[in-house]
Amino acid sequence: MSLRRIFALSRRHYYLYKGSWPRILELVYWPVMSLTLWGFLSLYLKQIHVDLPAVVPVFLGALILWDVLFRSQIGVCMAFLEEVWSRNLVGIFVSPLTPLEFVIGQLLVGVLRTLAATFAMVLLAALAYGFNIFTLGLPLVAFFANLIIMGWAIGLLVTGIVLRFGQGAESLAWAIIFFFQPISAVFYPVSALPQWLQPLSWATPAASVFEGMRALLNSGTFDTALFLRAVRLNGVYLVVGAAFFMLMFRLARRDGQLLTIGE
Amino acid sequence: MLQRQFLSELAFSSNGKESVMDKNARVVKVVNLTKRYRSTLAVNGLSFHIEPGEIFGLIGANGAGKTTTIAILLGLVTPTDGEITIFGLDPKRHRRKVLERMNFSSPYISLPHRLTVLQNLTVYADLYGVRNIRSRLDDLCGKLGISDLLKRHFGQLSSGQKTRVAIAKALINEPDLLLLDEPTASLDPDVAERVRSCLLSYREEKGAAILVSSHNMQEVERICDRMLILKQGKKMIEGTPASIISRYRTKDLESVFIEIARGEDN
């Protein structure tokens, strides 16, 4: 494995963002807009004394963490789609870059995009709503890491689908994560879901992360069992996502789809 | 013959790269290559080889199997059957080693439009592990006459300029094997001639082998040492352009091409 080749891919995206203000704007626009909306809603709920513990931290914390998951997933997909849109994928695949290096490069770009968007949200939450997410302390790193990894896994799944089925499937890059939102218990506990849906919810690493965040905000304790559950599930998700991508890559080579993608 | 031998020696010593191949090995050896897409036979039992320092033409009508063959050599498509060795190595097992010494250009692929020429070439120089990127780019861009384009976005260039930049990308790692899919398609005669001259001088300088797919028979006649004509994935004839013309008793390669394409191949 060559770090130089992996960083070459990251550098390619750095150049792209450096020279494109609409892309930089897009990176922070949606996170900031949704935080603004949810911030006002949280303040309103607080004003009318809704019987919810720590209403502002719970909502804004959940929103920021949800966005980490979403940005991580979309970041991986965008790193791939940018190559498809610029018809550069063949050039990359015939270079000595291995598929594994390509995947790692994509994940790295996903993380960098996530950090940029999260920084904007964290700053706005602190300045506008007095919510400092860093009060969550060290467990915040565990939450972030788990959500980023889950985003990677879903991103790889979508990338594999686009690789195999072409650009017609690219809208999945934006849509697929919203399949996970209702069952990830982002803004409400898993127990709020219908009984039959709860096992599905617990099968997502995100549900454990959001339950863990609420436990920390409400009782001040970090639930190690929830954390380990998320880690185990993420292990499975990541292996499945990577294996799916590699399988789709192999099938795309067999059927000559690497040549026609982007046309 | 002596020139070929000299070029062959050069091919193995250029760039100071560590050579892992057998000195006597052919650059490319393809035996009984077959590619089937469901009911379509895109490449049908194709065999050929390319010697070091040779410019080899892969010719055929649209859909004859040229692009599929090139894509198989590049590892973009997996063959259904057959054997390939590149630099004496099995490209499936030695993918990175083989690709480090190859490069590819085609009008059907592009470079990111929002990146400048310099940024694009730097990224590819990193992907190919080029040492002394700055001096390599100075040398290459000077030869191709694109030094004044380095700070411009790729998307702002004319098609002739884009082709020269794409050729620069294809030569960035000083490949021992260069695969070019229609390198002069859609270029005006002046730019096309510059590209051909550049390829010929690169071959002279580095002793590289070049595989060219083209529809321009005059170009093939001018630059190719040997060529192969494909029809429906099958080899129809292989040889030097002169020997093929004489075998078909026609005035030029274009007539041979038309005769084969229309089915009057014998």
- Domains of chain B, residue spans: 2-99+215-261
Is the pLDDT at B226 greater than 60? The verdict is: yes
What are the residues of chain B with a beta carbon less than 8 Å away from any beta carbon of chain A? 37, 42, 67-68, 71, 74-78, 95-96, 99-100, 102-104, 106, 108-116, 119, 122-124, 126-129, 153, 169
pLDDT tier at B2, thresholds 50, 70, 90: very low
> Which pLDDT value is given to residue A262?
64
Percent of chain A with pLDDT over 70: 98
Q: Does A16 touch chain B (CB under 8 A)?
A: yes
pLDDT tier at A46, thresholds 50, 70, 90: confident
Euclidean distance between CA atoms A4 and B130, whole angstroms: 10
Write the ipTM: 0.84
Q: Domain boundaries in chain A?
A: 3-260
At A252 the three-state DSSP class reads helix
Give me A206's structure tokens: 């995100």
Q: What is the pLDDT of residues A186-239, one digit of tens each?
A: 989 999 999 999 999 999 999 999 999 988 888 888 899 999 999 999 999 999
> Which pLDDT value is given to residue B22?
53
Q: What is the pLDDT of residues A240-260, one digit of tens each?
A: 999 999 999 999 999 888 887
Is the pLDDT at B188 greater than 90? The verdict is: no
> Which pLDDT value is given to residue B21?
47
Dihedral (CA of A73, A78, A79, A84) sign: positive
Q: Does A255 touch chain B (CB under 8 A)?
A: yes
> Which pLDDT value is given to residue B20?
44
Query: How far is the alpha carbon of A214 from chain B, nearest alpha carbon, in Å?
Result: 43
Euclidean distance between CA atoms A79 and A109, whole angstroms: 7
Q: What is the pLDDT of residues B16-69, one digit of tens each?
A: 444 444 555 789 999 999 999 888 899 999 999 999 999 999 999 888 899 999
Euclidean distance between CA atoms A97 and A101, whole angstroms: 6
Interface probe with A: pick from B114, B124, B151, B180, most Cβ of A within 10 Å: B114
Q: What is the pLDDT of residues B80-108, one digit of tens each?
A: 999 999 999 999 999 999 999 999 998 87
Is the pLDDT at B9 greater than 50? The verdict is: no
Closest CA to A125 of A235, A43, A26: A43
pLDDT tier at B265, thresholds 50, 70, 90: very low
Closest CA to B108 of B180, B198, B9, B18: B180
Compute the residue count for chain A. Answer: 263
Instruction: Report DSSP letters for A21-84, one per residue.
Output: HHHHHHHHHHHHHHHHHHHHHHHHHHHTT-S-TTHHHHHHHHHHHHHHHHHHHHHHHHHHHHHH
Distance of CA A233 to the CA centre of its chain: 15
Euclidean distance between CA atoms A81 and A109, whole angstroms: 12
pLDDT tier at A52, thresholds 50, 70, 90: low
Closest CA to A185 of A40, A65, A56, A55: A65
> Which pLDDT value is given to residue B24?
57
A94/B114 Cβ within 8 A? no
As beta bridge partners, residue B86 has B28, B89
**Pairing of β B28-37 and β B40-50:** antiparallel
Nearest residue on chain A to B120, alpha-carbon basis: A12
pTM: 0.85
Q: Side chain identity at A91, as an amino acid letter? A: G
The whole-number average pLDDT for the span A113-133 is 89
Architecture in CATH of B2-99+215-261: 3-Layer(aba) Sandwich (3.40)
Dihedral (CA of B96, B98, B100, B106) sign: negative
Q: Does A96 touch chain B (CB under 8 A)?
A: yes
B37/A12 Cβ within 8 A? no
